[in-house]
Amino acid sequence: MGMLMAKKHIGEECVICEQTKWKGIYLYTSFICTDCEHDLISTDTSNPKYKYFLKQLRKITNPEIFS
Ligand SMILES: [Zn+2]
């Protein structure tokens, strides 16, 4: 019975692939799935794909200045 209750958790939306995933890490307040985390680490900075990651990550790091 308790196990059914636990099913309420439906995962998190990854900020990079924008899909709902179960496993991943939190960067600031945003979720990055393990697939994207791995991609991000293994992608060379000269790879065009890296720019896409940075663009997606900018949504997280978009600075909000608290004065
Ligand atoms: Zn992802």
DSSP class per residue in 29-52: TEEEEHHHHHHHHHS-TTSHHHHH
pLDDT > 60? residue 5: no
Please indicate, yes or no, if residue 47 is contained in any of the structural domains.
yes
Asked if residue 9 has pLDDT above 80, the reply is no
Q: Residue 60's pLDDT is what?
A: 75
Cα 14 to middle of ligand 1, angstroms: 5
10 Å CB burial of residue 43 (0-12, 13-18, 19+) is middle
Residue 2 Cα to ligand 1 middle (Å):
29
**Higher-scoring residue by pLDDT: 11, 4:** 11
Q: Residue 36 pLDDT more than 60? A: yes
What pLDDT, on the 0 to 100 scale, is given for residue 57? 87
- Tell me how far the alpha carbon of residue 65 lies from the centroid of ligand 1, in angstroms: 27
- Residue 67: which pLDDT band, with cuts at 50, 70 and 90? low
Tell me whether residue 52 is in a domain: yes
Query: What is the residue whose two structure tokens read 């960067």?
Result: 27
Host domain of residue 46:
32-61
Q: Give me ligand 1 centre to Cα 34, in Å.
A: 7
Residue 45 belongs to a domain: yes
